[in-house]
Amino acid sequence: FDICITFRIVYVHRGQMSIVKLKTAGEAGKKIALEYLEKHPNETIPTLINEILKPSEPPPPPPPPPTRTPTPPPKPKSALVHIKDSIDSAMTAEEIKAQKYAEQGDIDMALITYQRIQPATVRVLNAMGQLSANRKGDYEYALQCIN
């Protein structure tokens, strides 16, 4: 090696023993080294090595996780309660009629009434699926309605 060979610092490991991995730098590295020495004329090689070898500062502690207030789990609703909760001004007369059939226990008539509603909205299809699954036990038809 020549005393004028410049090195590029590739890796510094600071543990019980400091390890500095160097790689020879070509002409571009020499140019960078000379520019650095011109800008910092008072720094000696031991000063630069001490700068490399000084222990690293420990990373700042991570911020505490945001506190979340636990929300109570949603209460399961029966099909009739869900249908009653979904009543609003946009509910058609056919939907109200189907709901009344369901309340009276005539599930087949309620499903027939829901099937006549055109266009079938998401609310109607969900109601049909819930009635089929919860009251009739027809899970295949319920899946067809919900999917």
Contact 102, 80 (CB under 8 A): yes
Confidence tier at 2 by pLDDT (50, 70, 90): low
pLDDT, average across residues 92-104: 89
Cis-peptide into 76, omega within 30 deg: no
Characterise 105 by phi-psi region: left (phi > 0), alpha (psi -120 to 50), beta (else): left
Superfamily of domain 79-146: Tetratricopeptide repeat domain (1.25.40.10)
Average pLDDT value for the chain: 75
Question: Once rounded to an integer, what is the mean pLDDT over residues 36-65?
Answer: 75
pLDDT of the residue at 1: 46
CATH 1.25.40.10 in the chain, residue ranges: 79-146
**Residue 9: how many CA atoms within 13 Å on its side-chain side?**
11
Question: What's the whole-model pTM score?
Answer: 0.39
Which pLDDT score is estimated for 55? 66
Whether residue 26 has pLDDT greater than 80: no
Measured between alpha carbons, how far is 123 from 121 in angstroms, rounded to an integer? 5
